[in-house]
Each structure stands twice: as structure tokens, then as C-alpha cells.
Amino acid sequence: MARDTKDNHWKEDFPIPELESTQVSRRDFAKFLCLVSGGLATGTGYVAIKANFFPPEKIVNEHFVCKKDELPIGGTKAFVISGSDIPYILIHLEDGQFRSYEQKCTHLSCAVFYLPGSGRIECPCHNGWFDALTGEALEGPPPRPLPRLDVVIKGMDVYVKAYEPSNKAVV
């Protein structure tokens, strides 16, 4: 409690009525909505600039992953490409084909795993499923297919390179 007159000066120094300091008026709420709106417009602009002018770097050349006999049928090998830190997996499908995908779920970036024998890739985080043959999202929350790489086999060596949709049918 204020005892002397000196302590009473805060009322003049901060002349803000109690009502105003405790209530958010509808005017302020409307202004806040407008601020949020500006933030969303800025965010969309940021995404637009990033998507149009700074696309993610393309993978150049072919990269050696492993020997063909290192990976048994139904096996999975995790690898990274030198110069990037995106995790990838190489899968040896039951029918003998090789497939390579980013190991990051398109939902919230959890690591995905091939479930041997099922032909499907599983994301354990929220029970998302992808087709191991195409990377297509089959079930659960993932909104997009898994980004994939093309697998090139040269003799006994397995290489990967950037995915080109035109050679989808080969391998």
C-alpha cells in the first residue's frame, strides 16, 4: 500500500484505466486478425519466392551405393549422397527390382522403413504407408508420394541418379 505521497505518482505516470488494461477490445481483436492476415500473406510470399527462385538442388551424376550382392532380397540399405545430408534408402524388392527413396516421410519427416514381403513402405509415426514400387502414398496422413531416385545397375554395382519420370517403366 502506498504510504507517502511519492508513491501515488504512478497514477499520473501511467494513466491507463483498469478496464482498458485488462480487456481486449473488439477493435484490438480486429486489428490482431489483420496482423495475422498480413503474416499469412508474407508466409505465402516466402513460399512462392522459395519455390520459384530457389528450387532444391538437383542431384547430378550417378552415385555409387553398394554392390548388388550386399543387399539380400527384401533388404534395405540407408545411404547419403556426398554433398547433401538427405537420408535415402535403397530397397531390394522381392521381385528382384531395386528402388530408392528419400527416407523422410512426406507427412512430418519421420524415417520410413520397407516392410519386407509386403511391397509397402511404412512410416511408424502415424501409420502412413507408401507403395514400395512407385513411392505413391497409399494410406494414412502422408499427403505426397515419397521423393524417389532412379536406380542404375552396372554389372554388380548399384548406382542412383536423379529421378526422371520418363524412365518410370524401366528397371
Partner 1 sequence: MSTFREGQDQAHPNKTSTLILALILVLILNVSIQIWLLYTTLNNALAQHADIALPAFLASLALFLVGFFWLYYLPGGGKQRKIVKNVNFSDTYH
Binding site for ligand FES (CB under 6 A): 105, 107-108, 110, 123, 125-126, 128, 140-142
155 touches partner 1 (CB under 8 A): no
126 touches partner 1 (CB under 8 A): no
DSSP string for residues in 3-51: -SGGGGGHHHHS---HHHHH---HHHHHHHHHHHHHHHHHHHHHHHHHH
CB of 101 to ligand FES, least distance (A): 13
Give the residue, chosen from 3, 27, 72, 169, that forms a contact with partner 1 under the rule CB under 8 A: 27
CA of residue 100 relative to chain centroid, distance: 17
Q: Which does 43 bind (CB under 5 to 8 A by kind): ligand FES, partner 1, none?
A: partner 1
C-alpha cell at 136: 505413391
DSSP string for residues in 107-143: TT--B-EEETTTTEEEETTTTEEEETTT--EEESS--
CB of 87 to ligand FES, least distance (A): 14
Q: Which does 108 bind (CB under 5 to 8 A by kind): partner 1, ligand FES, none?
A: ligand FES
C-alpha–C-alpha distance, residues 116 and 121, integer Å: 9
CB of 121 to ligand FES, least distance (A): 10
How is the beta sheet containing 148-154 ordered, strand by strand?
63-67, 157-162, 148-154, 98-102, 87-92, 76-80
Nearer to partner 1, 38 or 124 (CB): 38
Q: Which residues bind partner 1 (CB under 8 A)?
A: 11-12, 15, 17-20, 25-27, 29-31, 33-34, 36-38, 40-41, 43-45, 47-48, 50-52, 55, 106, 143-144
